[in-house]
Structure 1
Amino acid sequence: MADGQAIRGSKVGSGPAGEAERGESAPRRVVSYWCANGHESTPAFATDADAPREWECQRCGVPAGRDRDNPPEARRTEPYKSHFAYVQERRSEEEGQAILAEALERIQERRGR
């Protein structure tokens, strides 16, 4: 750059590398998790931390557990519902018509009709 604003002598990823500059890593342990599709995930945890009972599979996203022969079942996800769909679950068609008639009546009263 002509105006002298460029950072010279550095590149992406340059800087101190290795444990000597960053400090010592905490001791870790690797825990294996298996999903219903047979995938194995092996996250590392600090030795003094409690590993969770379930972990999300890194390949397919379903829950994975520590027992290889008995993995947790995939959770059933409900499709997106609109506000109107939830209202329809709570109200019958007749109730909806009655509420609509009351609202229209109130509007007409306010308008002086």
Structure 2
Amino acid sequence: MAGGNAIRGSRVGAGPVGEVERGESAPRLRLPYWCANGHETRIAFASDADVPELWDCPRCGLPAGQDQRNPPPAPRNEPYKTHLAYVRERRTDADGDALLEEALTRLRARRGM
């Protein structure tokens, strides 16, 4: 059993941590960003940092800009395409029929029909 007068989680000479011991904080800019849903997000940047034009809204995920009256539009999501849809973009029905006939001819020759 440990001694009853031990101070746990501390070290000799430890005192309260305050602004004096940490030093002064760097100068900051707090800039507002607005998304298309009207959410406002205030981000703190160092005063000498490059400020991004767009920032992702932490509430809805849409891009946010610094102009409240004209926020950036939501990105367009392309619908999911199947493999067949991509094939049909590259080939016509006539090409597909020719490839199918060629494959069937090879299959029949292999089976001896």
Q: Smaller-chain TM-score range? A: 0.5 to 0.7
Unaligned runs of 5+ in 2: 1-7, 10-16
Max Rg structure: 2
SS at match of 1:64: strand
Q: How many aligned residue pairs are there?
A: 97
SS at match of 2:50: coil
Distance 1:59 1:108, change over 3 A: same
RMSD of aligned residue pairs (Cα, Å): 2.7
Unaligned runs of 5+ in 1: 1-8, 11-16
Are 1:86 and 2:90 an aligned pair? no
- How far the C-alpha of 1:68 sits from its partner, in A, is 0.7
- How far the C-alpha of 1:37 sits from its partner, in A, is 1.4
What is the one-letter code of the residue matched to 1:90?
R
Cα distance in 2, alignment partners of residues 49 and 42 from structure 1: 15
What is the one-letter code of the residue matched to 2:30?
V
Which stretches of structure 1, 4 residues or more, deviate above 3 A after TM superposition?
A: 17-21, 23-27, 106-109
Q: Identity of paired residues, percent?
A: 58
Distance 1:38 1:99, change over 3 A: same
SS at match of 2:101: helix
What is the one-letter code of the residue matched to 1:100?
L
The residue that corresponds to 2:29 in the other structure is: 29
Distance 1:30 1:108, change over 3 A: farther
What is the one-letter code of the residue matched to 2:31?
V
Q: What is the TM-score when the length of structure 1 is the normalising length?
A: 0.66
The residue that corresponds to 1:38 in the other structure is: 38
